[in-house]
Amino acid sequence: MSTMKPENTAVSRGDRRQFVKASTLATFSAMLGMDIPFGGLIPQGLTPVALGQDEVVQEMDLIHKPGLRVLNLRPVNMETPALLLDDEITPNQRHFVRNNGLMPERAGQGSLSGWTLDIDGEVERPMKLSMDQLQSGFKVVEGAYVLECGGNGRAGFYPPAPGNQWTLGAVGCALYKGIRLRDVLLHAGLRNSAVYIGYYGEDIHLSRDPSKVVISRGFPISKALDEHTLLAWEMNGEPLPAVHGFPLRLICPGWPASTSGKWLKRITVRNVVHDGEKMTGHSYRMPKYPVAPGTDVPAQDMEIISEMPVKSIITFPETGMEVPQNQEVPLRGHAWSGSGNISAMDVSIDFGQTWKRTELKAPRNKFAWQRWNVGIQFPGPGYYEVWARATDVTGAMQPMVVPGWNPRGYLNNAMHRIAIKVTA
Q: How does pLDDT run across 183-201, given as a tens digit for each residue?
A: 999 999 999 999 999 999 9
pLDDT at 19: 67
pLDDT at 25: 75
What's the one-letter identity of residue 373?
N
pLDDT at 62: 66
pLDDT < 50 positions in the chain: 1-17, 53
Q: Domains along the chain?
A: 6-61 (no CATH), 107-304 (3.90.420.10), 311-423 (2.60.40.650)
Task: For residues 151 and 125, give the distance between their C-alpha atoms in angstroms, rounded to a whole number.
Answer: 37
pLDDT at 30: 64
* Residue 315 CA from chain centroid, whole number: 17
Task: For residues 27 and 21, give the distance between their C-alpha atoms in angstroms, rounded to a whole number.
Answer: 10
Per-residue pLDDT tens over the stretch 39-65: 778 776 566 766 654 555 556 666 778
In the chain, what is the straight-line distance between the N-terminal and C-terminal CA atoms, in Å?
Answer: 64
pLDDT at 204: 96
DSSP summary character for residue 258: G
pLDDT at 43: 75
Please name which of 200, 71, 144, 205 lies closest in space to residue 362, comparing C-alpha atoms. Answer: 144
3-class secondary-structure state, position 293: coil
pLDDT at 8: 39
Strands 264-270 and 117-121: parallel
Task: For residues 16 and 19, give the distance between their C-alpha atoms in angstroms, rounded to a whole number.
Answer: 10
Instruction: Report pTM.
Output: 0.86
Task: For residues 255 and 263, give the distance between their C-alpha atoms in angstroms, rounded to a whole number.
Answer: 18
